[in-house]
Structure 1
Amino acid sequence: MTDASTKFGEMVRNNRLLRPLLSLPIFYRVLIANSLIIFAGATGGTWLASQLNTNSLYPTALVVFVAVGWLVSVALNFVLLQFAFRPLMDLGKVMSRVQAGERSQRAPLTGYDRDADQLALTFNMMLEAINEANRQRATQIMNAMEEERKRIARELHDETSQVLTSLLISLAILEESITTQEARDRIAETRTLAHRTLRAIRNLSIDLRPSALDDLGLLPALRWYIKEYQQKFTIVVDFQAEGFKERLSTEMETALYRIIQESLTNVARHAQAHHVNIALKEDTDAVYATITDDGRGFDLEQVQKLPSSGQERGWGLMGMNERAHLLDGDLTIDSSPGKGTTVRACLPLQETASSDKAIQSEVSV
């Protein structure tokens, strides 16, 4: 809502004459405004015609009178219609901003125009319904993805890994039973290849969905992942956690794990960093995650615009934002070339988020 609209609304609410007039339906406001203009024109015209009837300059004066009367009528009509349609124009501006992508915009209520307020309330309720439908759809998609990741990870761990382990055992037995050195060397090479494949499958299983996240919770899963991450990329990671007396909800643990995992993945792929700090904190209202690296940083706006080289990172950043917003949280990224990157996520605890929504519903009602 603009400053001019705010001042106009305050002026109307404080004016005892304008408030009852502008509280009428739009049809009657326009009807009254035009009736007043016609009445003023007819009255003034009759009086002026009687005055000019005996004047020798009557034709010229009549032309001037008609022109002036027309201009005055247009000006008065413009002013009165501006007053009458100001709430609708404000609503149109909000609609344009929503169409441009500002989904958090809401139509203002005038407090004196029942028709405009009803339109604004309907528009706001429609936006809330669309946002809620999109939120539910995105949540269902995220949950389906996590379930599929879990299924594939379990299958890789339970089936494929066991087959490769059996193959390694068979190769070891075969190596012991063969006396030819050349054959033993070839079997040893095959065992090495099988070991690498087994390790790659286990890493893939962990990346898809670590079993520790479901069985033990967020903190053990993160500690295990960070340990493997440091061994793989030789990047020092300092991890600190504060609070967390009890396990969080499955949705929140998954979101925090994925946000931290994606942040570390971006560090390894793009940042050229040597050190990463991860801080997790839970208080009575929310859980806070901060991931900071000493890498080369990047231009956030530029990365989001890049269609090719920055596309993978752009989708990763979008995924982190989506996970945070689905839980009514916020995620911010601070980065600039040469100064490293800091990712901050704030996810409200479910009870707090539910109570906030209830309060907002009561206020809107």
Structure 2
Amino acid sequence: MASKPASVATPTIRQRLTALGLIALCPVFFGLVVEGWYQRADDLKQAGEMAVAEVQLATAAQQKQINAVQEMLAGLASGAEGWARSPDCDARFRSLLGELKTFANLGWLDAGDVLSCSAVGSPERIWVGDRQYVREARATKHMSASEMLVGRASGKRSILFGYPMHDAAGRYTGLMFASYKDENFVNLRLAGQARVFSRFSYFDRQGNLITTDPRGSPPIVERLPADAMRRADGSGYHPLVGTTQDRDGGRHVTALAAVYGPNGPVAYVQAGIPEEEVLQAWRNEVLIRFAIVIATMVAGLALTGWFLERWLVRDLKRMVDFTRKASSAMVEDWPVRARTREARQAMVSVVALTQALQEQREQLTLLHKEANATNVLLENKRIKLSQALARLETLSLELVGAQERERKHLARELHDEFGQRLTALNLSLHALEPDLPHDKARKTWSQAETDVADLIRQVRELSVSLRPPALDYFPLETALRQLIDRQLCSAGLDSTMDFAGIPARLPEPLAITAYRLVQEGLTNVLRHAQASRVAIEVNGGEHGNELELILRDNGRGFDHAANIGQRRSSPGCGLLGMQERVELLGGQFHVESVPGQGTRIHAILPIRHASEQTIQSPAG
């Protein structure tokens, strides 16, 4: 009978299609991730380009303003010597400052670098020759700019521009200066129409922060590193692009550029765009793209699944139902309906296969009936054979029992009848000895007495061999030790016997069988082995419910395999009788022998089986 297949959780077609759709989405997701990563790099690059563009606008505006300051100071210097020493010099500078709202102060230094007059005015004569921009202007004879300073006259933070003046002989005659307000750097950027997406920081020529834009916003860095200023100076008019981290840990895409005057960098402009804002915009764009792609894919999969459900899954379900019904009924007249050619061909194949299976099923049914009938017949034969074997085993046991009883009877008869009569005859011969007339008669009498004594001894030995009386009065161990002493001591063989784990009283068939095994084994040793040492071991077996007997000798051994089937006067014949005795009691018998290496006989007799056989055997 065919076994049902094991129940396994098999996915449905719809589940498989869903899994295929998800697998198909994996490359799309991977492509979107890769594209998003490249888009991230592009967005950061665009942010850098945007920062560059804005810082270029800011530096261009500042550069333009510096040029305008230089032209203004050159114009003032050309006519200043005439009125710079006049009493209304301060008023004139003050009037001019009122028109120039981006400056904090305007003034004139004489040849000794002492403030002669200024728009702010000063009651004291202030010496400013220690200012770096003054020394540079005198040394280079060009307009110079200072770092962010606090004006000594105006008291405001500003950058000072100095324009040196010389006479016809080239001697230094004084310096026209203008103090540019720090907050007007933002106005310069707005004037340049730079976009306000970036955060700006303005630094003087020493890297000190001037101002920020939007005004009041925290700067990206408080002071420019010397290395950054050096690299910005080396890049010329090309802004230095990089990533800068502010004091709060925020990262910014920055562009740094220098604003140049006649003697080198005057100031530095840094435009920064927060990287988080760029990445947030990038994330939003990626999420929107993901949502659009996923929605499109899900809609496409849903539409594809609907078509597959309509055109494929229904046909497959119809095929499954058709196959299930076809497996339990005749399908000769069933109509075949399918929406696809493949499904129809499959159903036609199912019909043909089902018809062939139904024919085979009928044949198998007939064969099954015949097999059942044969099994019944074989079972009856087996029962009869088992019964016959049981009867044969019973008869064999009864035969062995009868043989032992007959041996016992013969032994008793030999001992009681022949033994006593021979003893009486021996006594009679002893009584006749004094009456013998001459030497010849005495010689005949002596021979007769010797023959009678030998006969008495032989009858006693025959009686003991037929039924050892020790088995009726002593345990098995005592009987075996007497047997060994009787058979081996006279032959001059060394012997050892280990006896352990055996009950004092054993079932009679078991004790007799063990005794006969040892008796036959010793006989074989004396007749064939040519041994000098024999070892016998009797124990309770591995589990204590058996009688295990092992007999070893160091004799010449023999080829046991060649003697198994022989029925002649050889060790094989005696061993065969020993094996039959053991198997009658349900035991095991093994012989191990190799020519020149001695012989080992191993027998295991179950004590319980022997007890049952004792109950079943008739009493003797």
The DSSP-based 3-state class of the residue aligned with 1:288 is: strand
Distance 1:115 1:174, change over 3 A: same
The DSSP-based 3-state class of the residue aligned with 1:254 is: helix
Written as runs of structure 1 = structure 2, the 5 A alignment for 1:334-345 is 334-345=592-603
1:347 to 605, 610, 616: 605
* Number of equivalenced pairs: 265
User: Partners in 2 of 1:165 and 1:212 — Cα distance?
Assistant: 22
Q: In structure 1, what is the equivalent of residue 559 of structure 2? A: 299
User: Partners in 2 of 1:316 and 1:143 — Cα distance?
Assistant: 19
TM-score (structure 2 length as normaliser)? 0.38
Q: In structure 2, what is the equivalent of residue 108 of structure 1? A: none
Letter in 1 for 2:589: L
User: Partners in 1 of 2:461 and 2:611 — Cα distance?
Assistant: 35
Deviation (angstroms), 1:190: 1.6
Q: In structure 1, what is the equivalent of residue 383 of structure 2? A: 125
Deviation (angstroms), 1:234: 2.6
Q: In structure 1, what is the equivalent of residue 587 of structure 2? A: 329
- The answer to whether the Cα contact below 8 Å between 2:559 and 2:595 also exists between their aligned partners in 1 is yes
Deviation (angstroms), 1:200: 1.0
Letter in 2 for 1:165: T
- The answer to whether the Cα contact below 8 Å between 2:496 and 2:535 also exists between their aligned partners in 1 is yes
Letter in 2 for 1:293: D
Deviation (angstroms), 1:13: 4.6
Q: In structure 1, what is the equivalent of residue 267 of structure 2? A: none
2:535 to 277, 302, 309: 277
Deviation (angstroms), 1:154: 0.5
Deviation (angstroms), 1:153: 0.5
Deviation (angstroms), 1:273: 1.4
Cα RMSD after superposing both structures: 3.6
Written as runs of structure 1 = structure 2, the 5 A alignment for 1:203-218 is 203-218=461-476
Deviation (angstroms), 1:243: 2.2
Greater Rg by CA: 2
Deviation (angstroms), 1:287: 0.6
TM-score (structure 1 length as normaliser)? 0.63
Distance 1:184 1:255, change over 3 A: same
1:143 aligns with 2:401: yes
Kindly provide the CA deviation profile for residues 175-227 of structure 1, in whole angstroms up to 9, marking residues without a partner as x.
Answer: 24436333323222221111111111111111111111122232222121111
Kindly provide the CA deviation profile for residues 145-172 of structure 1, in whole angstroms up to 9, marking residues without a partner as x.
Answer: 1111110010001111111111222222
Distance 1:186 1:286, change over 3 A: same
Worse-superposed segment, 235-244 or 171-180: 171-180
Letter in 2 for 1:341: T
1:182 aligns with 2:182: no
User: Partners in 2 of 1:262 and 1:351 — Cα distance?
Assistant: 23
Distance 1:352 1:138, change over 3 A: closer
2:460 to 186, 202, 213: 202
- The answer to whether the Cα contact below 8 Å between 2:587 and 2:605 also exists between their aligned partners in 1 is yes
- The answer to whether the Cα contact below 8 Å between 1:285 and 1:352 also exists between their aligned partners in 2 is no
- The answer to whether the Cα contact below 8 Å between 2:502 and 2:539 also exists between their aligned partners in 1 is yes
User: Partners in 1 of 2:599 and 2:4 — Cα distance?
Assistant: 51
Quick check: which one's helix share is greater? 1
Q: Unpaired runs of 5+ in structure 1?
A: 1-8, 17-38, 44-72, 89-112, 355-365
User: Partners in 2 of 1:271 and 1:198 — Cα distance?
Assistant: 30
User: Partners in 2 of 1:253 and 1:144 — Cα distance?
Assistant: 16
Distance 1:133 1:157, change over 3 A: same
Distance 1:133 1:279, change over 3 A: same
User: Partners in 1 of 2:495 and 2:383 — Cα distance?
Assistant: 46
- The answer to whether the Cα contact below 8 Å between 2:411 and 2:467 also exists between their aligned partners in 1 is yes
Q: In structure 1, what is the equivalent of residue 507 of structure 2? A: 249
Higher normalized contact order (CA 8 Å, seq sep 6+, divided by chain length): 1
Written as runs of structure 1 = structure 2, the 5 A alignment for 1:89-104 is none
Kindly provide the CA deviation profile for residues 120-168 of structure 1, in whole angstroms up to 9, marking residues without a partner as x.
Answer: 6545434432321221111011011111111001000111111111122
Deviation (angstroms), 1:276: 0.9
The DSSP-based 3-state class of the residue aligned with 1:305 is: coil
Letter in 1 for 2:556: R
Written as runs of structure 1 = structure 2, the 5 A alignment for 1:1-365 is 13=3, 118=376, 121-122=379-380, 124-178=382-436, 180-282=438-540, 284-310=544-570, 313-350=571-608
- The answer to whether the Cα contact below 8 Å between 1:238 and 1:277 also exists between their aligned partners in 2 is yes
- The answer to whether the Cα contact below 8 Å between 2:531 and 2:553 also exists between their aligned partners in 1 is yes
User: Partners in 1 of 2:4 and 2:521 — Cα distance?
Assistant: 53
The DSSP-based 3-state class of the residue aligned with 2:573 is: helix
User: Partners in 1 of 2:410 and 2:380 — Cα distance?
Assistant: 45
User: Partners in 2 of 1:309 and 1:250 — Cα distance?
Assistant: 29
User: Partners in 1 of 2:508 and 2:521 — Cα distance?
Assistant: 20
Distance 1:238 1:179, change over 3 A: farther
Letter in 2 for 1:303: N
User: Partners in 1 of 2:565 and 2:597 — Cα distance?
Assistant: 21
Deviation (angstroms), 1:244: 2.7
Deviation (angstroms), 1:278: 0.8
User: Partners in 2 of 1:206 and 1:340 — Cα distance?
Assistant: 29
Distance 1:231 1:185, change over 3 A: farther
Q: In structure 1, what is the equivalent of residue 291 of structure 2? A: none
User: Partners in 2 of 1:214 and 1:13 — Cα distance?
Assistant: 62
Q: Unpaired runs of 5+ in structure 2?
A: 7-329, 334-355, 613-620
- The answer to whether the Cα contact below 8 Å between 1:286 and 1:349 also exists between their aligned partners in 2 is yes
The DSSP-based 3-state class of the residue aligned with 1:342 is: strand
Distance 1:352 1:220, change over 3 A: closer
- The answer to whether the Cα contact below 8 Å between 2:586 and 2:606 also exists between their aligned partners in 1 is yes
Letter in 1 for 2:547: V
Kindly provide the CA deviation profile for residues 85-123 of structure 1, in whole angstroms up to 9, marking residues without a partner as x.
Answer: 8xx9xxxxxxxxxxxxxxxxxxxxxxxx86676566545
Letter in 2 for 1:228: R
Deviation (angstroms), 1:258: 0.9
User: Partners in 1 of 2:394 and 2:610 — Cα distance?
Assistant: 19
The DSSP-based 3-state class of the residue aligned with 1:239 is: strand
The DSSP-based 3-state class of the residue aligned with 1:276 is: strand
The DSSP-based 3-state class of the residue aligned with 1:317 is: helix
Letter in 1 for 2:386: E
User: Partners in 2 of 1:296 and 1:13 — Cα distance?
Assistant: 60
User: Partners in 1 of 2:600 and 2:481 — Cα distance?
Assistant: 20
Deviation (angstroms), 1:245: 3.6
